[in-house]
């Protein structure tokens, strides 16, 4: 029997701060239960007659597909809406669109640029809104990441996650917050030019301390990875930042995740996993990676036995399903 806490009913998730630490981990545990149930061949009806609008300003493979399958698996429906085929933000304000969508749908998953757009959707639609990535944060990704860590380690409190790369992007911001809330030690290793905001770091240090863990920031990858249980990286140029490409490649070249760095953790072959939210630049298989000619992770690490990137991708579906179910199931 799948049960979700009544406190999560009708709740939105725009930032991980919208949930208490316990609520965040409840969603992860619900996702683990839903994954097990699905593996046993059960497709439920927890989202029967629930319809979810997927409002996407940016491209997506994992988030869009996860939301679609999550809803369909449990008897719900989705509609995919983009700027090019709706009036959203072009001919109709976010506020007006939100009020229309709120009359028709039971929830809205938003992916886009401004965090403010997600906030407006929540404010004016009157239905739960989930943030499927903005420039500032990517909370649904981190639910899948915490789930993947739990699957790999069992207990995650006290483990050490080292994020290496663009230290101020959406994934880095939310991972820092998620680790702090989960009592996981977090190190953001990034060039000085790409440091996360001081406010976010201070807030995360405070939350981590309440959970008996630490949050650190530094710029030396070899020192940062010492004792790491998770090495995590993301693309060097996020969606919408294409004009910054040259600068990023120059700044981040010394931050590539490779086998030498994995060995420096002291945990390789024992207690180390590699994570990446995907999509990743790790080979020359795509036009974009050939054109960029730089990779945030080597193919050797990406394809290694300690790489958990596809478990992580699959877990996007289970965690988004857990969010939908906890907010909408009757």
Q: Which is nearer to ligand CP, 37 or 168 (CB)?
A: 168
Q: Which is nearer to ligand CP, 141 or 267 (CB)?
A: 141
Contact of 55 with 109, CB cutoff 8 Å: yes
d(CA 272, CA 262): 8
User: Minimum CB separation from ligand NVA for residue 248, in Å?
Assistant: 11
Q: Is 234 a catalytic residue?
A: yes
Exposure string of 143-155, with b = 16+ CB inside 10 Å and e = fewer, is bbbbbbbbbbbee
Catalytic residue among 62, 73, 106, 111: 111
d(CA 196, CA 323): 27
State the angle between helix axes of 62-73 and 309-328 in degrees (0 to 180), rounded to the nearest 10: 50
Q: Which is nearer to ligand CP, 135 or 193 (CB)?
A: 135
d(CA 123, CA 101): 12
Applying the rule CB under 6 A, the residues between 269 and 298 that interact with ligand CP are 277-278
Indicate which single residue of 117, 141, 238, 326 sits in contact with ligand CP (rule: CB under 6 A).
Answer: 141
Exposure string of 216-232, with b = 16+ CB inside 10 Å and e = fewer, is ebebebeebbebbbbbb
Indicate which single residue of 31, 156, 164, 171 sits in contact with ligand NVA (rule: CB under 6 A).
Answer: 171
Can the peptide bond before residue 259 be classed as cis, meaning omega within 30 degrees of 0? Answer: no
Q: Is 189 a catalytic residue?
A: no
User: Minimum CB separation from ligand NVA for residue 299, in Å?
Assistant: 19
Q: Is 250 a catalytic residue?
A: no
Applying the rule CB under 6 A, the residues between 52 and 81 that interact with ligand CP are 60-63
Q: Which is nearer to ligand CP, 5 or 240 (CB)?
A: 240
- Residue 234's binding partner among ligand NVA, ligand CP, none (Cβ under 5 to 8 angstroms by kind) is ligand NVA
d(CA 208, CA 221): 22
Closest CA to 181 of 12, 23, 5: 23
**Which residue is it, tokens 């839903």?**
34
Q: Is 138 a catalytic residue?
A: yes
Q: Is 83 a catalytic residue?
A: no
Residue 237 class from Cβ within 10 Å (0-12 exposed, 13-18 middle, 19+ buried)? buried
In sequence order, the 6+-apart residues with CB closer than 8 A to the CB of 144 are 31, 312, 313, 315, 316, 318, 319
Query: Would you count residue 296 as binding ligand NVA (CB under 6 A)?
Result: no
User: Minimum CB separation from ligand CP for residue 3, in Å?
Assistant: 28
Catalytic residue among 26, 179, 189, 277: 277
Indicate which single residue of 57, 119, 234, 296 sits in contact with ligand NVA (rule: CB under 6 A).
Answer: 234
- Residue 122's binding partner among ligand CP, ligand NVA, none (Cβ under 5 to 8 angstroms by kind) is none
Binding flags for ligand NVA, 236-265, as an x/- string (CB under 6 A): --xx--------------------------
Query: What would the two tokens of residue 17 be?
Result: 């701060």
Residues with catalytic annotation?
111, 138, 141, 234, 277, 316
Binding residues for ligand CP (CB under 6 A) = 60-63, 133, 141, 277-278
**Residues found near ligand NVA in the complex (CB under 6 A):** 133, 169-171, 234-235, 238-239, 277
């Amino acid at each position: 029997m799948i049960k979700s806490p009544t406190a999560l009913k009708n709740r939105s998730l725009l930032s991980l701060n919208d949930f208490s630490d316990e609520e965040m981990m409840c969603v992860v545990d619900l996702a683990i239960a839903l994954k097990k149930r699905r593996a046993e061949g059960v497709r439920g009806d927890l989202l029967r007659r629930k319809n979810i609008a997927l409002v996407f300003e940016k491209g997506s493979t994992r988030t869009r597909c996860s939301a679609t399958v999550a809803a369909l698996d449990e008897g719900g429906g989705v509609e995919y809406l983009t700027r090019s085929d709706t009036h959203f933000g072009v001919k109709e304000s976010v506020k007006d669109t939100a009020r229309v969508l709120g009359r028709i749908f039971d929830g809205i998953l938003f992916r886009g640029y401004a965090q403010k757009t997600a906030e407006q959707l929540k404010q004016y639609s009157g239905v739960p809104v989930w943030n499927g990535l903005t420039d500032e944060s990517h909370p649904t990704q981190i639910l899948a990441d915490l789930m993947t860590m739990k699957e790999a380690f069992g207990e995650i409190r006290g483990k050490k996650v080292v994020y290496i790369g663009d230290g101020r992007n959406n994934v880095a911001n939310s991972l820092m917050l998620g680790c702090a809330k989960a009592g996981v030690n977090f190190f953001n290793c990034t060039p000085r030019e790409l440091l996360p905001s001081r406010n976010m770091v201070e807030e995360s240090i405070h939350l981590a301390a309440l959970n008996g863990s630490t949050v650190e920031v530094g710029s030396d990858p070899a020192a940062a990875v010492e004792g790491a249980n998770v090495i995590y990286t993301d693309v060097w140029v996020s969606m919408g930042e294409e004009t910054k490409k040259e600068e990023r490649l120059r700044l981040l070249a010394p931050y590539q995740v490779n086998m030498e760095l994995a060995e420096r953790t002291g945990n390789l072959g024992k207690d180390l996993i590699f994570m990446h939210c995907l999509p990743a630049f790790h080979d020359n298989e795509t036009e974009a990676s050939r054109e960029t000619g730089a990779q945030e992770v080597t193919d050797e690490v990406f394809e290694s036995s300690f790489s958990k990137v596809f478990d992580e991708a699959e877990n996007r579906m289970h965690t988004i399903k857990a969010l939908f179910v906890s907010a909408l199931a009757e």
